[in-house]
């Protein structure tokens, strides 16, 4: 079964959007296989955002992502990476289509509610950074 890594960022948590985001994913037919609420340690932020480490926005991104708790998840489902990318919408909420999470719920590129892996390889890498294998639980979902 395909898996992806999703993370509700501090702005989404502080605005009380955890339930709204999870409700959309579950209603679509995707299945949560792991979930935890935590302050991200610097070491994992550096690994997770390694490709952006040299970008001018990185210091702001890092301090924002460590400014409050995040809700980290693994979701399973057919083509889950592509499906969740579509549901999340463009990185810049101003360009995200209405009906997407960012299109409906966000205004700023730096505070865009949720992160989702952008490929199967990235999903494997990001799940490995944030979850131990025993934290991921497979079970039957009634559809």
Establish whether 85 is an annotated binding residue.
yes
Structure tokens at 83: 């499906």
Smallest gap from Cβ 61 to ligand CMP, in A, equals 5
Name the residue nearer to ligand CMP (CB basis): 6 or 30: 6
* Residue whose CB is less far from ligand CMP, 22 or 45: 45
Instruction: Please report how close the Cβ of residue 5 comes to ligand CMP at its closest, in angstroms.
Output: 11
Q: Which residues of 50-64 are buried (b: 16+ CB within 10 A; e: fewer)?
A: eeeeeeeeeeebbee
Nearest-angstrom CA–CA distance, 76 and 29:
9
Q: What whole-number distance in Å separates Cα of residue 93 and Cα of residue 41? A: 26
Site residues (vs ligand CMP, CB under 6 A): 52, 57, 61, 91, 109-110, 112, 115
**CB of 70: closest distance to ligand CMP in angstroms?**
10
């Amino acid at each position: 079964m395909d898996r992806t890594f999703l993370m509700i960022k501090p702005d989404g948590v502080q605005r009380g959007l955890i339930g709204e985001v999870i409700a959309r994913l579950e209603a679509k037919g995707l299945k949560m296989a792991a979930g935890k609420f935590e302050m991200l340690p610097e070491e994992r932020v550096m690994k997770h955002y390694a490709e952006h480490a040299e970008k001018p926005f990185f210091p702001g991104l890092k301090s924002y992502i460590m400014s409050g708790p995040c809700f980290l998840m693994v979701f399973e489902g057919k083509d889950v990476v592509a499906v969740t990318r579509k549901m999340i919408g463009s990185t810049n909420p101003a360009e995200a289509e209405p009906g997407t999470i960012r299109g409906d719920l966000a205004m700023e590129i730096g505070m865009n509610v949720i992160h989702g892996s952008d490929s199967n390889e990235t999903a494997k890498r990001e799940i490995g950074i944030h979850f131990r294998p025993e934290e991921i639980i497979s079970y039957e979902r009634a559809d």
